[in-house]
Amino acid sequence: MVAQTIAAAWRSCGYARRSGRLPSFWHSVVIALVLTAVCLPFLYVIWRAGQVGFTRGFDLLWRPRVAQLLFNTVALMVSVTAATVLLGAGAAWCVERTDLPGRQAWAVLFSMPLSIPAFVGSYTWVSISPIFEGYGGAVLILTLATYPLVYLPVSAALRGLDPALEEVSQSLGRNRWQTFWRVVLPQLKPALGAGALLVSLHMLAEFGALALLRYQTFTTAIFEEYELEFSNASAALLAFVLLLLCVPLIVFELRVRGGVRLAKVGKGARRPVTRVPLGRWRWPVLGVFTALMTAALLVPLGTLAYWLTHGTSAGIDWGSLLESTGDSLSLSLAGALCTVLCTVPLVLAAMRYKALFGDWLDRIPYVVHALPGLVIALSLAFFSITYVSWAYQSWLLILVAYVVLYLPLAQASVRAALEQLPTSLEDVGRALGHSPWSVFCKITLPCIAPGVAAGGALVFLQLMKELTATLILAPIGVDTLSMQVWSETNNSAFAAAAPYAAVLILISGIPVHILRKAVYFDAQ
């Protein structure tokens, strides 16, 4: 009865502007349950922040420390996002549109830093010298860790563009620069916007790397409030500020994406791309890319290799390593599967049924994505202890936390794939008498399968590196690779942390390979 009420309320909240169809009953139930889980942390933050009271809340926020935290958080977010857009888009353009020597090798190298967790990169740089602590080190290390989130979708978008559009533009008298700004860039906006939004939200919620780099933001301050003072209300107030920072980011991304339509009925014949000659810029570009790969790959991997063989804490506890590897794989695979299963109905409802507030329906998970994993974990722990005590410290609760945390990562990939599928193909299937479920299984799902696989791989990658939510919600006896790295680095046992970090990087390379092969380097 409750499920029927929820589904009826959901179906009555809007109408199908694009296709004239409403979601099915079970489709509506799934969406309602997913959104309920996603909104729990949001409700928790508002409720706990409201307990502070207006007067005390104003006093807490009107402190020099909060102003400094706000400045630090915004400065880091803007700097890293701008740097990742420049690096990611520039690298994608050089690989896909120029005569860069060794383009295939560079394409592989540019995606590899995604397999190195940000807090592992921070640990390797800080273990070299404390000079990398602070704002400068945070911008450098987080840019190196996150620029593939922009590079991969932009590279995919460039591969999917029809070169004939650029040829027509140049035949009308526009040079290459004018063609890029007027023809190519508008079609890259969805990829650029999605990548930049993910990076920005990641900067708002980043904790592990910033704690090691000793750079104070709202996220590290929230952790301190909980750990040192156990002040849930004050920490929730800071988390509420993070939510407010997230809203303009989502509005901006929606405006950047606009109404761009990328779907086409057929791929047509593959046309060769006319490569732009780099000329005298070839060697400077190669120099910049070599320096980038040295900082992003050689330094972390080289430092890790050193700590594997040196230091008073060097040595491998094979039993603990195997157990932590098994725990990480089990949680990450289950979390990725659950996240993908929850993502597809949500994206379909937002794009195919186009209910009222459909764009915001698709963006609600992004708002919660800006919250630190600590806040999400505590909110779910609170609701489970209060209402469903049997779920506390169970696999169910931690999987719900993973879905809430990383739903936007899967959404970005599935949305990009669905944008390439014209609705006319699905309409033809229904006109031939197939049911909506049959059309989904025979037409929609096969066409968006690469995007679903990419979303699952990206979520799996992030779950292997997830730390704060797992620390709080993991069932007793579960100890992941990330938890082991965090525990050892907190004690400055860099050599003891190295084996866990090395295995974490090796396993993370698998989803990076899937991302590169299954979607981003598969011609669309």
| 3-22 per-position pLDDT tens digit | 444 344 434 343 333 444 55
Question: How high does pLDDT run on average in the chain?
Answer: 79
d(CA 431, CA 96): 39
pLDDT attached to residue 159: 78
Residue 15 identity (one-letter amino acid): Y
pLDDT attached to residue 14: 37
- List the structure tokens of 410: 């899967």
CA 214, 216, 222, 228: dihedral to nearest 10 degrees? 50
3-class SS of residue 276: strand
pLDDT attached to residue 193: 82
Confidence of residue 433 (pLDDT cuts 50, 70, 90): confident
pLDDT attached to residue 75: 95
DSSP string, 376-398: HHHHHHHHHHHH-GGGTTSHHHH
pLDDT above 80: residue 384: yes
Cα of first residue to Cα of last residue in the chain, in angstroms, is 44
CA dihedral sign, ordered 403, 406, 407, 410: negative
Work out the angle at residue 510's Cα, subtended by the Cα atoms of residues 509 and 516, and round it to the nearest 5 degrees: 85
| Every domain range in the chain assigned CATH 1.10.3720.10 | 33-52+311-523, 63-216+280-302
d(CA 61, CA 65): 9
Quick one: DSSP state of residue 52?
T
Rg of the chain over Cα atoms, rounded to whole angstroms, equals 23
Q: How far is CA 450 from CA 189, 393, 426, 447, 453, in A?
A: 21, 34, 18, 7, 5
Q: How far is CA 497 from CA 20, 307, 311, 486, 490, in A?
A: 56, 8, 11, 8, 10
CATH of 33-52+311-523, one of 1.10.645.10, 3.40.50.2300, 3.40.50.300, 1.10.3720.10: 1.10.3720.10
Burial class of 121 by CB neighbour count within 10 A (0 to 12, 13 to 18, 19+): buried
Among 53-57, 324-328, 354-358, 497-501, the range scoring the smallest mean pLDDT is 354-358
CB 173 within 8 A of CB 283: no
| Arch. (CATH architecture) of 63-216+280-302 | Orthogonal Bundle (1.10)
Query: What whole-number percentage of the chain has pLDDT above 70?
Result: 81
- List the structure tokens of 345: 């109905």
Query: What whole-number percentage of the chain has pLDDT above 90?
Result: 16
pLDDT above 50: residue 360: yes
Residue 274 identity (one-letter amino acid): T
Of the spans 291-295, 441-445, 462-466, 480-484, which averages the highest pLDDT?
291-295
Q: Which residue has the tokens 């690989």?
A: 95
CB 213 within 8 A of CB 489: no
DSSP string, 204-249: HH--HHHHHHT---HHHHHHHIIIII--HHHHHHHHHHHHHHHHHH
d(CA 95, CA 109): 11
- List the structure tokens of 144: 């190196």
Q: What is the pLDDT of residues 397-432, one digit of tens each?
A: 999 999 998 888 888 778 777 877 777 777 777 777
Q: Which residue has the tokens 């929606």?
A: 254
The full 3-state SS of 307-346, as one line of letters, equals: HHHCCCCCCCCHHHHHHHHHHHHHHHHHHHHHHHHHHHHH
Q: What is the pLDDT of residues 111-168, one digit of tens each?
A: 889 888 888 888 889 888 889 999 999 999 999 999 998 998 888 778 777 666 666 6
pLDDT above 50: residue 83: yes
pLDDT above 90: residue 379: no
Confidence of residue 524 (pLDDT cuts 50, 70, 90): very low
Q: Which residue has the tokens 């729990």?
A: 40
d(CA 406, CA 264): 29
- List the structure tokens of 434: 């197939």
